[in-house]
Structure 1
Amino acid sequence: MSFLRLALCVIGVYSMFLLWAIAQERLAVPFQSIKEDTTHKFHSPLALSACQSTLSSISALLYLYFRRKPGQTWAQTLGLEHSSVKQDGIELKEKKSNGTAVHNGSAHTNGSATHHHHPDTRYSPRQLLLHYFQCSVLITSATPFGFAALSYITYPAMVLGKSCKLVPVMIMNVLLYRRRFARYKYVVVAMVTLGITMFFGFGKEKPAKAKSNGNGELGTFGQLAGVVLLLINLAIDGATNSTQDEIFSRFKVSGQQMMFWINVFNTLISATISILPLPYIPVLHPSRYRTELEGALHFIRDHPSVVSPMLQFAFTGALGQLFIFETLQHFGSLTLVTITLTRKLFTMLLSVAIYNHKLTPGQWLGAVVVFAGISVEAWVKRRDVHAKRVIQEKEKANIKSL
């Protein structure tokens, strides 16, 4: 069942975000104006984020509604109240850990039930919503830096930087929440990052030789600015994923419940910032209009061809997030990032097979390193699953003997 769930998550992430990436690439290029013979770029990332988060929250709410259990309240459906089960007349509440890491060297367990129960504020709805809000602030903050980085560096350089996302995710987990990972996780992270870096680094198209806006090679200052923006984006992404892991380890919530609340807060934050009259800020408010929403509406009116990729971007992103949070809940952020990174690699390998592209020896070596890293994690997970099954069979045999 675990393998089937992982396979469905991989297929969903790959298919939805392949279409999402196509829409994102289209939104990064200029659109033809219907008023005059000119082209302009779309400069309203937060308005676009608000559109996607709105659809994402709706899709998560529909998923939770149709999957809720009979008699379940809305507070329980949305993860703000835990379902209680009675055992020998004593009311117990379930808590769980997602199993991806150990918090301060020990995992949270139910322990033994006592009659004198004191409420634990760590698991209160208020603390849970504050964690959701923290994730939303981080996600909203990362979006403008990612869009701004594409104005200074080429797409291959962006992919090369994103391939190292496993590193900030692990670093932020260690720094923010004092988590420790199994040794093989560090090996897998190093191998996957090294392999994808080799795959894109040994390609024929180098970032330093790429052209930007038709002006020839990118200047040193421009590339440096792009790298700094990309590093900020990666650091915020790492903090976001580590915070999501912390939520799963401390609170009894599902991936879709997290998806709903984070996107609700994303919508509120993005929409609020979009209607605020802000001055021109290069990264945070690149629009020349008084508000970002006003700039987005004017752009849509003058460039109606932007509507189709915007809808595709929001719709595929909303469906893709269902698979993203399902993966995050059951397999952790490192497995999720591994899936999203290898998706880029598998897409390029499929292109090689269909269109007969030529890869350099360094790229083939990078692909081998990535597949080797994935094989290490698959072998360890299979060994752990087999060991758990053996223990379960022994426990069943002991129960029957009693």
Structure 2
Amino acid sequence: MKCKENLILFVASITYAFIISVVAKPVARLISDNPSWILNLSFIVTTYFLVILPIYLIGTNNRFANFFGLHQEIEYTEVKKEETQNNRKEDSRKSKYVKLLMCFFALQASYLTWGILQEKIMTTDYVKFDGTKEKFRDSQFIVFINRVLAFTLSGIILFFQGKLNDRTPLYQYSFCSVSNILSSWFQYEALKYISFPIQVVAKSCKVIPVMVVSTAVSKKSYKKSDYFLALIISLGMIAFLNGVPSQSDVSTATTISGVILLISYLGADSFTSSWQSQLFTTYKQSEIQMMFGVNTMSVLLTTVSLFLTDGFMYSFSFMERHPIFILDCTLTAIASASGQFAIFYTIAEFGPMIFALLMTLRQGLSVLLSCIIYNHVIEPVGILGVVIIFSALIYKGTTSEKKGKSVQSPQKDEVV
């Protein structure tokens, strides 16, 4: 009976997705050559639903799962913590500093390059041979390019390590994969409405909504120093926004769209980290296996979505008109994939707090480089706001590091 119900649901979902993607999309293009981000988002989510539903039905149905070998008994391998700790003790203090410098430069080089390129792709005009200009519009294709390279590299590493047999059900990766894709999509789309410095500074204030949600939902209590720190960050954000000159050609609706997209990014990104932590706890996979599993689903989801929404046709046509766009996409993918490996190594060697400090410094440098390269104007009060925010975050990171020295293993977070 359950199989029959699942089959009916599966057929209905395919029919629904077919109607939306094949019929409604051309209608939307007749209305406007550039549909709103809300309409584009609805099409993207619909096509994801088409992919996730059959994978979920197969993974949760015993008959299908046994046929495909998805319900195998999970054998967990305990990590030999004592051996790992003894190996780490053999490293001299000098080599630790060398590794820390390597991690610092790897993270800065990867993510500073990635930030500059993503702003270039989404905000600047590409010039044709005849001198006409146009902007690239399909954010999902950029996400696809990044995920393909990360999927390939992590797969190669697991192949040579002999660890491709991840026992985590594929549908479990689908949830954080969707949120991971959408968080990147929201981030790229937001650049069409707000500047990159505003986006980076707003993302650095993520601690504030986390505290609010945790207090309201989980009834979690915080120390007075945490609330004071959140207040300082809020004041810094207010100062920064007051120091960014408003553009007369930007409408209120455009500003609201940017804010909504930025808030959506923070929500999707928070869900991704939480779900990945749960998978780590439940299935005990490695970081590379997590990277491979999530990117496998991401490539599958974005491939189907881009095919149904003509995203491939538009993007390849854009590449033909602007060959430099191919180089930008390639460098963005390399920077994103190398950054993920740098994250894994930094957290494994030095813990999440040192990693957070390095990424906070990266955010500050990203704002500086963006202002220099793309001529963003920030008044003195805005610069003061940036200094206040990042000083507060660095202080939080250093105090947390001192309190967390007794922790034996880093929390595996923000891995994709």
Are the equivalent residues in 2 in contact too, given 1:138–1:240 (CA < 8 A)?
yes
Give the aligned partner of residue 56 of structure 1: 150
Matches within 5 A, 1:319-334: 319-326=338-345
1:63 offset after TM fit, Å?
3.5
* 1:236 paired residue among 227, 246, 268: 268
Give the aligned partner of residue 200 of structure 1: 240
Matching of residue 138 in structure 1 with residue 179 in structure 2: yes
Matching of residue 379 in structure 1 with residue 399 in structure 2: yes
Matching of residue 11 in structure 1 with residue 105 in structure 2: yes
Matches within 5 A, 1:2-401: 8-28=102-122, 29-34=124-129, 36-65=130-159, 68=161, 74-75=164-165, 79-80=166-167, 125-126=168-169, 129-168=170-209, 183=223, 186=226, 190=230, 193-194=233-234, 197=237, 200-201=240-241, 203=243, 205-206=244-245, 209-210=246-247, 216-276=248-308, 278=309, 291-326=310-345, 339-348=358-367, 360=380, 363-364=383-384, 366-368=386-388, 370-385=390-405
User: CA separation in 2, counterparts of 1:270 and 1:197?
Assistant: 34
1:222 offset after TM fit, Å?
1.9
Gaps of 5+ in 2: 1-87, 90-95, 409-416
Are the equivalent residues in 1 in contact too, given 2:354–2:397 (CA < 8 A)?
no
1:13-34 CA-partner distances (Å, limit 9, x unpaired)? 2220111112112212111123
Select the structure that is richer in helix.
Answer: 2
User: CA separation in 2, counterparts of 1:248 and 1:170?
Assistant: 23
- Quickly say closer, same or farther: Cα 1:33–1:315, change in 2 above 3 A: same
Which letter does structure 2 place at the counterpart of 1:257? Q
User: CA separation in 2, counterparts of 1:302 and 1:351?
Assistant: 26
User: CA separation in 2, counterparts of 1:181 and 1:171?
Assistant: 10
Are the equivalent residues in 1 in contact too, given 2:233–2:392 (CA < 8 A)?
no
Are the equivalent residues in 2 in contact too, given 1:132–1:261 (CA < 8 A)?
yes
- Quickly say closer, same or farther: Cα 1:237–1:184, change in 2 above 3 A: farther
- Quickly say closer, same or farther: Cα 1:245–1:331, change in 2 above 3 A: farther
1:321 offset after TM fit, Å?
1.3
1:43 offset after TM fit, Å?
1.7
User: CA separation in 1, counterparts of 2:225 and 2:109?
Assistant: 26
Give the aligned partner of residue 101 of structure 1: none
1:232 offset after TM fit, Å?
1.7
- Quickly say closer, same or farther: Cα 1:199–1:54, change in 2 above 3 A: farther
Number of residue pairs the alignment of both structures matches: 310
Are the equivalent residues in 1 in contact too, given 2:146–2:337 (CA < 8 A)?
yes
1:166 offset after TM fit, Å?
3.4
Give SS of 1:26's match.
Answer: helix
- Quickly say closer, same or farther: Cα 1:342–1:157, change in 2 above 3 A: same
Are the equivalent residues in 2 in contact too, given 1:300–1:306 (CA < 8 A)?
yes
Gaps of 5+ in 1: 81-124, 211-215, 279-290, 390-402
- Quickly say closer, same or farther: Cα 1:367–1:261, change in 2 above 3 A: same
1:333 offset after TM fit, Å?
7.5
CA RMSD of aligned residues (A): 3.9
1:233 offset after TM fit, Å?
2.1
1:301-346 CA-partner distances (Å, limit 9, x unpaired)? 1111211111111111111111234456788888766643441214
Are the equivalent residues in 1 in contact too, given 2:112–2:365 (CA < 8 A)?
no
Of 51-60 and 333-342, the range deviating more from structure 2: 333-342
1:248-268 CA-partner distances (Å, limit 9, x unpaired)? 333312222211111111111
Are the equivalent residues in 1 in contact too, given 2:115–2:366 (CA < 8 A)?
no
User: CA separation in 2, counterparts of 1:140 and 1:39?
Assistant: 28
User: CA separation in 2, counterparts of 1:136 and 1:22?
Assistant: 24
- Quickly say closer, same or farther: Cα 1:233–1:351, change in 2 above 3 A: closer
Are the equivalent residues in 2 in contact too, given 1:163–1:193 (CA < 8 A)?
no
Higher relative contact order (CA 8 A, sep 6+): 1
Are the equivalent residues in 2 in contact too, given 1:32–1:39 (CA < 8 A)?
yes
Which letter does structure 2 place at the counterpart of 1:140? I
Which letter does structure 1 place at the counterpart of 2:126? F
Give the TM-score normalised by structure 2.
0.62
Give SS of 1:218's match.
Answer: coil
User: CA separation in 2, counterparts of 1:340 and 1:388?
Assistant: 21
